[in-house]
Amino acid sequence: MKELLLGNEAVARGAYEAGVRVATAYPGTPSTEITENIAKYDEIYSEWSPNEKVALEVAIGASVAGARSICSMKHVGLNVAADPLFTASYTGVNGGLVIMVADDPGMHSSQNEQDSRFYARASLVPMLEPSDSQECKDYVKTAFEISEKFDCPVIVRLTTRVAHSRSLVELEGRNDIELKPYTKDPSKYVMMPAMARGRHLAVEKRMAELRSYAETTPLNRIEWGSREIGVITSGISYQYAREALGDVSYLKLGMVYPLPEGLIREFVSKVDKLYVIEELEPFLENQVKKMGIKVTGKELLPVTGEYSATLLREKLRGIKFEKVYDIDLQSPARPPVMCPGCPHRGTFHVLKKLKLTVTGDIGCYTLAALPPAQSMDTCVCMGASIGMAHGMEKARGREFGKKTVAVLGDSTFIHSGITGLIDIVYNKGCSTVIILDNSITGMTGHQHNPTTGFTIKGEPTKQVDLEMLAKAVGIERVRIADPFDIKNFEKVVKEEVEADEPSVIIAQRPCALLKQVRYEGPQRINENCRKCRSCMRIGCPAIVDKGDAIEINSALCVGCKLCSNICAFNAIEKAGDNNG
């Protein structure tokens, strides 16, 4: 029986079939659905961890304790988890340990376009890269075998188009692998200099063995076609190449680190013209070149953005796409926007009005950098808003600090904002931090986190109290305010930025997409409207300027009433009952 699965769902299925017992993750597009789907299996303990570093540490602990374990994250998450990764490479494993990392070429939902393959080389850990959902499942299972056979963590790398494409997958049963016995072994698991020196030697020996394994594993395969052109490729690029170049010869690498030098030389010797086709960095290409092999890759193909069959046809075969439909109309851009009813809209309306410098962070609220709000100044990485606000104040002085706030979400604050907050207190900063507490991890599609009071499986658990947490690290001024109560929220922000001590404002209102949030439904604009357009300034996609009138789109409006709070003329009221 075949099922049509997302790459991420197939990874989850692979983990289940491989007998995984522990799965950890911090959500991040395009990796989130892996662990969301693992959570559906009762046989596997799964968790949302506070961040990727903790997630990997939990998985390493589970592995050392004898369980097959999997830890999943997006590419930038691997930066957070890099510290345990590099040393887990030295300790090796007991139960198999697989790290899933999902890169995002083209940056559909990311702040950079980093190529995580370099982590495999830097940490001396093998890396596999599937091309479709069936391979996602198969490779995860093979990764566990490699992990246990060679005593190392294994990274499986996805890219967005593999993670978020569905294709057919043959399902199999679960291999109920027993826990391996746990025995104390400080020479392997306590990485202090004397022991680590020994382990580094073991790692180098393992890499040599893995290079031999790469030569014969079915993960790497040659598909012979016309020998005029040979293509070395992997992952989604293989699919684009197949489509663009058809029946030429392919060396499809399922294992992208370490590379099979012998197999590559054999392939190269039998083709006339050699291409390496890979998105992002010339990771394969440079290694092939280092073998002294002449190859064409990045001199024709870009290191930025996603590839496509069209791009390969154009760059490698000189075939250009010709327009079929000639239409003389421009399409205005449609950038993503905060949803109707979004609680962040109130917050940024106030921050814009007060003309504050806003150090921002990663989440739906990053959209506040775009028009019409345009009230976010920076966005670097998870938690950076707080450290950056502190840095700005230290660089430019207290007066500048009084016009600066850090803004980040509840989940982001727990992920890595809390350490920044401690820094402000410890180093005598006076910054104001606004935690946008919308009761959920929003951008990645509603995952629980330590502040929501529920686990990944929806079970009730202890809830981190943000107010008490802030006070515990030494913030004496902690305020809770509703961002839709615009007048009060503005007053609170003004007071806190003025205060000569650090402060935290918890902007509390749940995400409008949460099921338990029930607003009264579409509003309409009545005859009291003076067309002052102040409601337009909140940038709600449901409010439309029709030139001679302002209208509310009843198909979009949820009835959050932020606009009615702002309207000075009582011109916005509930629309009649017509189901929307």
Partner 1 sequence: MDDLNIMIVGVGGQGTLLASRLLGKVAQKQGYDVKVSEIHGMSQRGGSVVTYVKMGRKVYSPIIEKGEADFLLAFEKLEALRWIDYLKKDGTVVLNDQEIDPMPVITGSTMYPEGIIEKLAEAGAHVRSIDALGIARECGNIKAVNMVLIGLLAGTSSISKDIWLESLKEAVPQKFLDVNVRAFNAGYMVR
Q: Is 467 exposed, middle or buried (0-12, 13-18, 19+ CB in 10 A)?
A: middle
Binder of partner 1 out of 196, 222, 337, 499 (CB under 8 A): 337
Cβ–Cβ under 8 Å, residues 149 and 91: no
Cβ–Cβ under 8 Å, residues 206 and 126: no
Encode 450-460: b = buried (16+ Cβ within 10 Å), e = exposed.
Answer: bbbebebeeee
Question: What mask, x for binding partner 1 by CB under 8 A, covers residues 340 to 379?
Answer: ------------------------x-xx--xxx-------
Token reading at 213: 């394994």
CA atoms within 13 A on the CB side of 504: 30
Which range of residues in 13-21, 150-158, 402-410, 534-542 is near partner 1 by CB under 8 A? 534-542
Q: Cβ of residue 2: shortest distance to partner 1, in angstroms?
A: 7
Radius of gyration for the alpha carbons in the chain, expressed in angstroms and rounded: 27
Nearest CB to partner 1, comparing residues 112 and 427: 112
Binder of partner 1 out of 443, 456, 492, 507 (CB under 8 A): 443
Binding of partner 1 at residue 32 (CB under 8 A)?
yes
Q: Cβ of residue 480: shortest distance to partner 1, in angstroms?
A: 26
Torsion sign, CA atoms 148, 149, 152, 154: negative
Binder of partner 1 out of 87, 217, 308, 565 (CB under 8 A): 308
Binder of partner 1 out of 21, 53, 75, 161 (CB under 8 A): 161
Binding of partner 1 at residue 4 (CB under 8 A)?
yes
Binding of partner 1 at residue 239 (CB under 8 A)?
yes
Binding of partner 1 at residue 42 (CB under 8 A)?
no
Cis bond leading into 30, ω under 30°? yes
Q: Which residue, among 520, 530, 517, has the nearest Cα to 575 in the 3D structure?
A: 520
- What is the distance between the alpha carbons of residues 9 and 171, in angstroms, rounded to a whole number? 12
- Pairing state between β 69-74 and 127-128: unpaired
Interhelix angle 344-353/486-498, nearest 10 degrees: 60
Q: Cβ of residue 477: shortest distance to partner 1, in angstroms?
A: 32
**How many residues in the shown chain lie near partner 1 by CB under 8 A?**
65
Binding of partner 1 at residue 310 (CB under 8 A)?
yes
Binding of partner 1 at residue 302 (CB under 8 A)?
no
Binding of partner 1 at residue 40 (CB under 8 A)?
no
Q: Cβ of residue 483: shortest distance to partner 1, in angstroms?
A: 18
Nearest CB to partner 1, comparing residues 171 and 472: 171
Cβ–Cβ under 8 Å, residues 324 and 302: no
- What is the distance between the alpha carbons of residues 443 and 363, in angstroms, rounded to a whole number? 6
Q: Cβ of residue 55: shortest distance to partner 1, in angstroms?
A: 19
Chain contacts with partner 1 (rule: CB under 8 A)? 2, 4, 6, 29-30, 32-33, 108-109, 132, 160-161, 164-168, 236, 239-240, 242-243, 308-310, 321-339, 364, 366-367, 370-372, 443-445, 536, 539, 541, 543-545, 553, 555-556, 578-580
